Structure 1
Amino acid sequence: MIIKFARIDDRLIHGQVATVWAKLANAQRIIVVSKEVFNDKIRKVLVKQAAPAGMKVNVVDVPKAIAVFNNPKYQNDTVFYLFTNPTEVLELVKGGIPLKSINIGGLSYAEGKKQITKAVSVTPEDVQAFKELDKLGVNLDLRVLADDPKKDILKLIS
C-alpha cells in the first residue's frame, strides 16, 4: 500500500475530512483503523455512508490493518488512514507500518482529558503514545484545518 495521508480525528469522516482532507490525500481508499468502530455495526455503516462519492471506505482494527497493508494484492493501492486515537496509530507503527507523519485534527474533550487546544484534548495514554510516536520518527502534525499553522503538540502536552 502507498500511504498518502494519515489523520487522527475522533469524528472520523465529517465535512472537513470528506471535502478537504480526502481531496488533499488524493487516495483511492479511506481506511478507518479503530477497534471501537470496527466492533460497532451501526457506527461502521454510518462512517461508510459519510464518505465522499466514489471513495472506498474500510473499517478495520489494527491487526486487520497490518494484514491488509502486507497483502501483495493491495501493494499499489493508495490509502488515507483515519484513526480515533494515537494509541492505535502507535500499535500500527509498532506493527511495522511505515507511517512517516500523522495529522492530529480532533480529539474531543471528555472527563479525564486535558484540553490542549480548542479541538484537541488528551488522556495520559494519548500523551504517552504521542511521545513514543515522536521517538519512532513519526512527524506529529497538529492542524485541525488544512490551512492552519502547524502546532507543536509535544510542547503543548509537556
Structure 2
Amino acid sequence: MKNIVWTRIDDRLIHGQVMTQWIQHADANEVVIIDDGVAKDAFIQMIMKSSVPAKINLEIFNVADGIDYLKGEDDGKKILVLVKTPGVLVALADAGVKLESVNVGGIGAKAGRKTLYKNISTSEAENQDLRNLIDKGIKVFFRVVVSDSEELVEKYV
C-alpha cells in the first residue's frame, strides 16, 4: 500500500493554499488527484501540472485507476490525496485503500447542497458518504486552512 500522509476533500483540488500550505504541512512529495472528470480532461491536467512545484510529483487518476495506484507497493513517496467529493473516498475505502483520516476542507455551495460548516456545503448524499467514512472508523474532520483547529464532522452530519 502506498504511504498516504494526508487526505483532503477540496473541490478546487489544486490551488494556492494546497500548494503553499497543505503540501508542506503534510510533508508530502506527491499529490494524487482522484476524479473521473479531471482524469478525462487533458487541458485541466495541463493547467494543474503547471501549478505544482517542480519538486512535487502530480498524478491524476479516475477512481478505478486511483484505487489500483494507491493499493500498489510503497515506493517511499509521501502522498497527499485530493478529491472533490466524499463519495470518492468511500469507493477507495470500500476497495481496501487504508484511510486513517480525512480533512474536509472545501466543498462549495451549489444546487442541492446546504451549508454544513462555515464555507462547506453538502448534499444529503454527501452527508451519508461522510457518515459512511466515520462508520468505517476513519477520523473525518473540518479544517479549512492549516492554522484552523480540527472540528469533527460527526457533530454536523
TM-score range, shorter chain: over 0.9
Give the match for residue 38 of structure 2: 37
Give the match for residue 28 of structure 2: 27
Amino acid corresponding to residue 15 of structure 1 in structure 2? G
Give the match for residue 76 of structure 2: 76
Give the match for residue 48 of structure 1: 49
Give the match for residue 87 of structure 1: 87
User: Which stretch of structure 1 is more off in the superposition, 92-101 or 41-50?
Assistant: 41-50
Q: For the residues of structure 1 that align with 2:51 and 2:114, how far apart are their CA atoms?
A: 29
Q: Is the 8 A contact 2:35 2:61 kept in 1?
A: yes
Q: For the residues of structure 1 that align with 2:141 and 2:155, how far apart are their CA atoms?
A: 12
Q: Does 1:98 align with 2:110?
A: no
Structure 1 unmatched ranges of 5 or more:
none
C-alpha distance after superposition, 1:12-32 (max 9, x if no partner): 111110000001111221000
Q: For the residues of structure 2 that align with 1:92 and 1:127, how far apart are their CA atoms?
A: 17
User: Secondary structure, in 3 states, of the residue corresponding to 2:104?
Assistant: strand
* Percentage of pairs with the same residue: 28
Q: TM-score, normalised by structure 2?
A: 0.93
User: Secondary structure, in 3 states, of the residue corresponding to 2:12?
Assistant: coil
Amino acid corresponding to residue 146 of structure 1 in structure 2? V
User: Secondary structure, in 3 states, of the residue corresponding to 1:108?
Assistant: coil
Structure 2 unmatched ranges of 5 or more:
none
Q: For the residues of structure 2 that align with 1:148 and 1:27, how far apart are their CA atoms?
A: 19
Give the match for residue 120 of structure 1: 120
Q: CA deviation at 1:60?
A: 0.3
Q: For the residues of structure 1 that align with 2:154 and 2:37, how far apart are their CA atoms?
A: 26
Q: For the residues of structure 2 that align with 1:101 and 1:117, how far apart are their CA atoms?
A: 18
Give the match for residue 129 of structure 2: 129
- Number of residue pairs matched? 156
Q: For the residues of structure 2 that align with 1:153 and 1:71, how far apart are their CA atoms?
A: 29
Q: TM-score, normalised by structure 1?
A: 0.93
Q: Which runs of 4 or more aligned residues in structure 1 lie more than 4 Å from their structure 2 counterparts after TM superposition?
A: none
